Structure 1
Amino acid sequence: MRDWDDSYANSAHIPGSDKLPAWWAERAAAYRARLKSFKPDIAYGPGERQRLDLILPDGDSKGLVVFVHGGYWMRFDKSSWTDLAEGARSHGWTVALPSYTLAPAARISEMTAEIAAAIASAAAQVSGPIRLAGHSAGGHLVTRVLCDDNRLEAAVYDRIAATLSISGLHDLRPLLRTRMNDTLGMSIDEATRESAALRLPRGQSPLTAWVGGNERPEFIRQAELMANIWTGFDVDTRLVVEAGHNHFTVVDGLKDPSSAITRCLVGLD
């Protein structure tokens, strides 16, 4: 029988990964200290973690990028990822990074609603097109926003120019067979309902599923699945397997204005 815990165990297969969370936090804090235009902790709801940061470009804003962090819906917050805004910011985009309530305090369905609220709040403050990105669990959350049951008003949804799901999880049913579901508490009904790959898209907003070539095979399968299924609904989908990157390094290119992943995010490729 397949070991589903191992299928999703990124850290166990990346040497030195235990030191990464502290490094991410230090790197993000150093970046924030250098920012000229930074608006932290903007409330998008009443919850303690319902806060977002805005990173502004040096000149006029071309629009809004929203980046949603990962951590299996159980870990991290916006403060560890601020530096990932630099690529899009350098191209003139305002970047929003929301935190959201984590499990077990919230169900995944509630997190989906929170991210929709965060996007709507940021969109009310930044005009122009909206481009969504998320990593791992964050990739799941931004992709769910594109589904037929999403809670965004049409005026906001219609501004979404494209979505980038990085190492996203799009079929949650296998997670029912992992120990992490002791914390997530998903039933088969919720796992099915919250799986973007099992839902209809609301429209034809383009979607890119981006994944590292050195990731666990399950993450590559999840990316392939999402791109394949929504192609059948006439969504402009793209699959990118970036060679040489694991689950944690695959997002590093977002710091580089010239990287392929940044260019994809801001619509240059």
Structure 2
Amino acid sequence: MDNDLAYANADFIPDAMAYPPRWAKSAEAFRLRQGPRARLAIAYGPGPRQKLDLFLPKTAPEGLVMFVHGGYWRQFHRSDWSHMAAGALQRGQAVAVPSYTLAPEARISDITRQISAALRLAARQVDGPIVLAGHSAGGHLVARMNCTDVPLPDPLVARIRRIVPISPVGDLRPLLKTRMNEDLRLDEAEAEAESPTLNKSRRKIETLVWVGAEERPAFLDQAKWLDEAWDEATRQVAPGRHHFDVIEDLEDPDSALMKAMLPKSA
């Protein structure tokens, strides 16, 4: 199959273009409800998009969740995804939602380093165990935090209990043959180096690969490949979910996704 078609999600989701404005509207309403418990635009680097929003629960945080958004490394902003913090907040977690410099201004390797910096900053704001979650390209980015070539201090790594890549792209090589690579500017070397599925030097952090049953075959394959490549990974296929609605369970503290992300032992 043509790779542009294989990785085209919106073309196969009914009313797909209604999702982004709905996400943005829900995110704005969520931020307003948080009031002073929303600490917005905390800089973790020098770039205008190198900022994160930190949402605090009503009581002292039991730990930290960081959610990294998707958009093929080329789209969206942290302000589109604030409401994805709702479920974790209700489970007593603080939630950090970073933005990052988008392609083509940044290469994927640059974005990986930015997420590492965002994680270091977020971890200084909140004590306790850490869970990393990300969707699509964000799933790739949080999976990269398990790879030892990404700089993270040992005390921070020791706090990371779980990584949850949701519908991730773990092997970037298929993207070399897509039109989006005009923006991503991947070459063979970077595609291999930035593919967590191919990485043999890892931190062995427990990883839960989550994917919707109704996703494109390419994303079901990507989830399977990452699961099979990592001994520390397990995979869960969410029934009835496609690439856009698979993350909606992050809003529900009692969803199967949230219970798997934040079990009582976390």
What is the TM-score when the length of structure 2 is the normalising length? 0.97
1:15 aligned onto 2:14: yes
1:264 aligned onto 2:260: yes
Counterpart-to-counterpart distance in 1, 2:43 and 2:166: 26
When the two chains are superposed, the root-mean-square deviation of aligned CA atoms in Å is 1.0
Q: Offset of 1:203 from its aligned partner?
A: 2.2
Q: Deviations over 1:199-257 (max 9, x none)?
A: 024322100110000000110110111011111xxx2x210011100000000000001
Q: In structure 2, what is the equivalent of residue 255 of structure 1?
A: 251
Percent of aligned positions with the same letter in both sequences? 47
Q: In structure 2, what is the equivalent of residue 160 of structure 1?
A: 160
The unaligned stretches of length 5 or more in structure 1 are none
Counterpart-to-counterpart distance in 2, 1:204 and 1:175: 26
What is the TM-score when the length of structure 1 is the normalising length? 0.96
Q: In structure 2, what is the equivalent of residue 239 of structure 1?
A: 235
Counterpart-to-counterpart distance in 2, 1:102 and 1:167: 19
Q: Deviations over 1:115-157 (max 9, x none)?
A: 0000000001111111000000000000001102111111111
Counterpart-to-counterpart distance in 1, 2:264 and 2:166: 17
Q: How does 1:50-61 map to 2 (within 5 A)?
A: 50-61=50-61
Q: Which runs of 4+ in 1 moved over 4 A?
A: none
Q: One-letter code of the match for 1:111?
A: I
8 Å Cα contact 1:164/1:209 also seen in 2: yes
The unaligned stretches of length 5 or more in structure 2 are none
Q: Deviations over 1:19-72 (max 9, x none)?
A: 211111001101111114100000001110000000000101111100000000
Counterpart-to-counterpart distance in 1, 2:225 and 2:90: 32
1:182 aligned onto 2:182: yes
The change in CA–CA distance for 1:268 and 1:5 in structure 2 (over 3 A counts) is: farther
Q: Offset of 1:268 from its aligned partner?
A: 4.0
1:111 aligned onto 2:111: yes
